[in-house]
């Protein structure tokens, strides 16, 4: 996307910042000091856990951040680089260490480390850990992707979104961790930027929760407050994550350079702060390191010949919301082909990738609902302007392009709605007899929206007014998927209550898509 004039004042990444991510071929060293003072530091530096992400056939990113006092300035660390040792092993007891090295946790990256471990074997489980001085991190479990031409009999995958910390306990993450998926996709709203009066969790009236995040330090502190949660740490440690952001990682319903909270130049400073803190706290590669207010987030993750995931960024390049946002009737603005949700370059990348794909399942991993959502009872149609409904021409190009290219087994996974919605993706949503191009599973929130219920009035309206919607639910949870060459099964895992610890998790629905037969079926 071309640089706009309001971005020209930002410096691009140079050597010091580029050194924040390293490859995994550094030589082993005897020991790593906790700092340059010469004094041992017995505080636990691994209070935010460990994570891995973006698996490739021979590589995976492993992450941690040193923060002995996670809510203190700089996480309680001195403003100096710290040597961090890392190990990757074929067994959880580290008897067969296959890769090891040392990297630097630097203060300019909030003492986070992103190690791009190379030279691993495809489609293998590995365990990893970090060490600073005599302090060992928790152990994480990860898995590389299969070789691109490998036949994969089964892939287990989970996806989740929207985890407002103050609105509930992360019971869904504890369940997700226990199921030990091959990969987890987190589709946005990892944290929330706005201030609150107080929440239901202990300490949710503290300043670090109630204050709105604007500065880099405030964004860093908000991530730390979320990542202290043991269930979230367990979910990260259970499998590699593939992440993309939605709006609340910056500010509610932002669109490219536009947000009513500030003029574009001022907003881009905030966006740059948010992007920087996001990268520091996610298991992302150097390719995703922000350059000021710009960040390359859309990318592909392949699992052999079984599945290819196109991970989208539907915030950074979108046109401003039509008709002032909210839920409105479709009109000339929503149908305007000049307006876009993805930007022209990302749209071409998506369609060209589908054309070249040899995968059995072609998956769109994105932030919200691709299907039409008429939210009003009766003949009048009202749709949300912030979803693909507000960019109908953009959606038509994507679904029309998939139909014209005869894309095999198109599946969209999304979030943002704080409800579960499973839909048939129609070439023309106004015509129930229109061809079904693909299938969509939108997952509910981890906690956002409090406990919810099985079916609320809004969900009942969606089912009545949208015949392509085959399932709806308004509880909290996530989606656990089992993918084989012949079938895709989505288990909608729901929590009875998130407003108390240790709620009960159950499967509310099992939904099926069969190879070569687009559309949702109930099991």
The CATH code for residues 17-143 is: 2.60.40.380
* Distance from C-alpha of 471 to C-alpha of 451, rounded to nearest angstrom: 19
In the chain, the percentage of residues whose pLDDT exceeds 90 is 89
In sequence order, the 6+-apart residues with CB closer than 8 A to the CB of 124 are 90, 143, 144
User: pLDDT at residue 504 above 70?
Assistant: yes
Pairing of strands 436-442, 410-414: parallel
Mean pLDDT over 55-73 rounds to: 97
Taking only the tens place, the pLDDT of each residue in 275-291 is: 999 999 999 999 999 99
pLDDT at 40: 55
- State the pLDDT at residue 207: 85
The helix (run of H) or strand (run of E) holding residue 177 is: helix 171-178
Domains of the chain by residue range: 17-143, 152-522
| DSSP letter, residue 456 | -
Task: Give the residue among 386, 381, 374, 393 at the shortest CA–CA distance from 332.
Answer: 393
Global pTM reads: 0.93
Closest listed residue to residue 107, CA positions, set 47, 67, 52: 67
pLDDT at position 205, please? 87
Residue 281 Cα to chain centre, angstroms: 12
Nearest to 448 by CA among 166, 122, 176, 238: 166
Task: Give the containing element (helix H, strand E) for 348.
Answer: helix 344-356
* Proportion of the chain above pLDDT 70, given as a percent: 92
d(CA 122, CA 467): 42
Region 159-187: what's the mean pLDDT?
A: 97
Question: From residue 8, how far is each of 4, 262, 269, 292 by CA, in Å?
Answer: 7, 18, 12, 10
Instruction: For residues 204 and 291, give the distance between their C-alpha atoms in angstroms, rounded to a whole number.
Output: 33
Task: Phi first, then psi: give them for residue 222, nearest 5 degrees.
Answer: -65, -40
CA distance 291 to 48: 25
pLDDT at 17 over 60: no
The yes-or-no verdict on residue 523 having pLDDT over 80 is: yes
**3-state SS, one letter per residue, for 191-254:** CCCCCCCCCCCCCCCCHHHHCCCCCHHHHHHHHHHHHCCHHHHHHHHHCCEEECCCCCCCCCCC
User: pLDDT tens digit string along 394-435?
Assistant: 999 999 999 999 999 999 999 999 999 999 999 999 999 999
Name the region of 258 (left: φ>0; alpha: ψ -120 to 50; beta: rest). Answer: beta
Written as six digits, the tokens of 132 are 């600073």
**CATH architecture of the domain with range 152-522:** 4-Layer Sandwich (3.60)
């Amino acid at each position: 996307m071309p640089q706009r004039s309001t971005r020209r004042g930002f410096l691009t990444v140079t050597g010091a910042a580029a050194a924040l991510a390293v490859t995994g071929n550094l030589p082993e060293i005897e020991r790593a000091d906790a700092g340059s003072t010469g004094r041992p530091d017995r505080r636990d530096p691994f209070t935010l856990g460990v994570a891995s992400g973006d698996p490739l056939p021979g590589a995976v990113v492993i992450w941690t951040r040193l923060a002995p006092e996670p809510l203190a300035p700089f996480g309680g660390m001195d403003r100096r680089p710290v040597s961090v040792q890392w190990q990757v092993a074929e067994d959880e007891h580290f008897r067969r260490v296959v890769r090891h090295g040392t990297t630097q946790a630097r203060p300019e990256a909030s003492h986070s480390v992103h190690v791009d471990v190379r030279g691993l074997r495809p489609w293998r489980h590995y365990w990893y850990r970090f060490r600073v001085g005599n302090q060992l991190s928790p152990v994480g479990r990860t898995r590389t992707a299969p070789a691109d031409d490998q036949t994969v009999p089964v892939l287990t995958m989970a996806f989740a979104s929207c985890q407002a910390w103050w609105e509930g306990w992360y019971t869904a993450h504890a369940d997700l961790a226990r199921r030990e998926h091959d990969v987890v996709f987190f589709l946005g709203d990892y944290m929330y930027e706005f201030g609150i009066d107080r929440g239901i969790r202990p300490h949710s009236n503290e300043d670090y929760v109630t204050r709105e995040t604007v500065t880099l330090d405030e964004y860093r502190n908000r991530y730390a407050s979320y990542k202290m949660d043991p269930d979230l740490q367990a979910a990260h440690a259970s499998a590699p994550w593939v992440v993309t952001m939605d709006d609340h990682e910056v500010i509610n319903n932002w669109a490219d350079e536009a947000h009513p909270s500030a003029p574009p130049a001022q907003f881009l400073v905030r966006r740059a702060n948010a992007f920087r803190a996001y990268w520091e706290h996610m298991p992302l590669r150097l390719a995703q390191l922000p350059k000021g207010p710009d960040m390359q987030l859309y990318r592909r993750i392949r699992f052999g010949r079984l599945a290819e995931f196109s991970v989208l960024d539907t915030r950074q390049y979108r046109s401003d919301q039509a008709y002032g946002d909210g839920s409105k009737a479709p009109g000339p603005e929503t149908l305007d082909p000049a307006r876009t949700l993805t930007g022209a370059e990302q749209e071409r990348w998506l369609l060209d990738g589908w054309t070249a794909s040899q995968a059995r399942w072609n998956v769109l991993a994105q932030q919200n609902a691709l299907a039409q959502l008429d939210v009003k009872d009766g003949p009048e149609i009202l749709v949300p302007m912030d979803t693909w409904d507000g960019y109908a021409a953009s959606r038509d190009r994507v679904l029309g392009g998939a139909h014209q290219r005869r894309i095999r087994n198109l599946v969209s996974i999304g979030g943002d709605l704080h409800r579960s919605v499973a839909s048939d993706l129609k070439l023309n949503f106004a015509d129930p007899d229109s061809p079904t191009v693909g299938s969509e599973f939108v997952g509910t929130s981890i906690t956002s929206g409090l406990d919810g219920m099985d079916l609320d009035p809004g969900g009942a309206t969606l089912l009545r007014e949208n015949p392509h919607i085959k399932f709806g639910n308004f509880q909290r949870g996530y989606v656990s998927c089992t993918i084989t060459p012949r079938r895709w099964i989505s288990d909608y895992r729901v929590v009875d209550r998130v407003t108390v610890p240790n709620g009960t998790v159950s499967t509310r629905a099992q939904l099926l898509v069969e190879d070569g037969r687009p559309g949702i079926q109930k099991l």
